[in-house]
Structure 1
């Protein structure tokens, strides 16, 4: 095992005789001692590096001890300094310690202070090792934190890009379904394609919202519903959704639940368009209200209501989809009997309650 190298102590003092005493005394204690006679010479030596600890006298011609100490503190990675003086004035000690000295001691001309200097130098070296270890640990923590922040930012950017691409792809599919529906001559095929387009658009809107959202874990439900209804208005034939309105409070919700809510809104709005106004168009209202931890979503119209006969060509797919999404939301679905037309009300909690998603039969 290689023995540790002797620490180098730089003794800055204009007293040559005392410098020799310090050198002999500390060398016997395992130090490598270099002695310079002025503050200027000490600073020049320190800039070359290789000094582990400094013993600095107070009174010297040219730069005195305090002035030299101030300049030592400006040297990068400066070694610890033990301030040495012949004065008994305690205010000097306070000034030196405030200026950055690691320790302070009073010297004598016979060299009796050398053992105390050895103890002070050893302690200053230990403190320097502890301080460096602490600084290195703090630097590593900062570096780790920066790496984590960079990885998190990269992950967020990638997730935004994924949502952007998925949203665009789904929007393309919705547009193709719209084109196919527009070119179809059979009303049943046209209706089925239009319904499918609305369902795809409902999912696409969530991904588009996540791409622009400040938080990838949530969606502003009111903004999402507004964009979804605007898509429905643009896709409707004969301006049949021109009186489709939204009254929604600002609510944040997780993306999966937003998809289920969007699909429910799409199905019930499309149902109102198809059956509420046999003679043409009429108002359709979507209302979202927050009630503590619960949300209430209502889709209503002023149409024929319960007077309408069941459509013999209806497959009931829309109702099954609504029921499946309601189960996913752990929501209750009720028809308001007091409403003149049709008013469907869903009540559910803001946060997800684990429940299995049933298959659509």
Structure 2
């Protein structure tokens, strides 16, 4: 027994609908004459009414059979209406209960509603009592139907959300695994480039291989961050650039001695593809400054990453000998055709910006200003 409202009528072969099943009502009252009157009058209106003469009998019937709604009198010998109501409400998926009493007592109505009654009807042997009872039954059954439809819809929403979360978790796991494998593969390539650089006596070849290894490192670090982070859609750009510069600082101490690299960065998150572009640009510009800014081998290279509203201002500067690369007239854009410059310009195009040289008397400052999010 689930106490649900009748199902909609199924269409017949001629296209019409079968008449709806009558509401099945249990009327619990110790007044047999009134019970028969209710049974007869509601029967004429299409209800199927079953009678019970006590709270105990009514409770037993509700537990054993299916009823769409129960009418429950308050004053009965033995178990009164409130006690019976609470016992009915304790059953699994109980039918709605309409409380019926002849007492004009508002406190009794409030007590019944607090105990779980769907409605309250004052019992009077008049024509409008049957009509009020009928209306209360229909409303109570409809209320149950709507509540259960709402619960079913919420259950479906929860199930859909659980399915989505499971798919999202699976996707995140696959992406982390993919980034892990890509990072490992790039690490192997970096190791091979290092081995090749160590095996050659040609300074130009060694420099080219070291440069290639640094460029691969800029890409590999992004993938390492993606598979070790809970966030797979964006990269913490400030932390990523900081790690790249730490690696370059180690190389500077080993090969150049007194070059110091510093970073001044705001917390910024961007998508992985654009992070790779910024990382490659930073690697090219910092290595270029390390090599050419200070012929004496000592000096500072300063990197800044600042958020300006929805844009990012990225600079690499030094106080050294100055950049020999020519600038395009009137724009300050770098016009060199060297490999490093071509890489910087290609990555800048990916960011939707153009690298420029800030005018100054000493040293070099390369600046890029680009959108925080990729512009559609």
With normalisation by structure 1, the TM-score equals 0.85
Unpaired segments ≥5 residues, structure 1: 309-313, 355-361
The equivalent of 1:335 in structure 2 is 357
1:9 deviates by 1.2
Detail structure 1 runs of 4+ shifted over 6 Å in the superposition. Answer: none
The equivalent of 2:262 in structure 1 is 245
Q: How does 1:35-46 map to 2 (within 5 A)?
A: 35-46=51-62
1:104 deviates by 1.8
Distance 1:62 1:235, change over 3 A: farther
**Alignment partners' CA distance in 2, 1:223 and 1:199:** 17
1:260 deviates by 1.1
**Alignment partners' CA distance in 1, 2:313 and 2:140:** 69
**Alignment partners' CA distance in 1, 2:37 and 2:56:** 22
RMSD: 2.8
1:349 aligns with 2:371: yes
> Paired residue for 1:100, among 96, 113, 116?
116
**Alignment partners' CA distance in 2, 1:293 and 1:162:** 30
The equivalent of 2:99 in structure 1 is 83
**Alignment partners' CA distance in 2, 1:162 and 1:24:** 74
Asked if the contact 1:80/1:102 (under 8 Å) is kept, the reply is yes
Q: How does 1:54-93 map to 2 (within 5 A)?
A: 54-93=70-109
The equivalent of 2:333 in structure 1 is none
SS at match of 1:88: coil
1:54 deviates by 0.2
1:62 deviates by 2.7
**Alignment partners' CA distance in 2, 1:295 and 1:19:** 81
**Alignment partners' CA distance in 1, 2:361 and 2:59:** 91
1:110 deviates by 8.1
1:291 deviates by 3.0
1:270 aligns with 2:254: no
The equivalent of 1:16 in structure 2 is 32
1:222 deviates by 0.9
Distance 1:294 1:114, change over 3 A: closer
**Alignment partners' CA distance in 2, 1:238 and 1:141:** 60
Distance 1:350 1:299, change over 3 A: same
The equivalent of 2:3 in structure 1 is none
**Alignment partners' CA distance in 2, 1:353 and 1:33:** 70
> Paired residue for 2:173, among 157, 163, 173?
157
1:283 aligns with 2:305: no
Q: Output one character per residue of 1:253-282: Cα deviation in whole Å (capped at 9) or x when no partner.
A: 222221111111111122123323445454
Asked if the contact 2:73/2:99 (under 8 Å) is kept, the reply is yes
**Alignment partners' CA distance in 2, 1:205 and 1:62:** 80
The equivalent of 2:7 in structure 1 is none
**Alignment partners' CA distance in 1, 2:132 and 2:267:** 72
**Alignment partners' CA distance in 2, 1:200 and 1:61:** 89
1:116 deviates by 3.6
SS at match of 1:11: strand
Asked if the contact 1:22/1:111 (under 8 Å) is kept, the reply is no
**Alignment partners' CA distance in 2, 1:283 and 1:33:** 95
**Alignment partners' CA distance in 2, 1:246 and 1:301:** 12
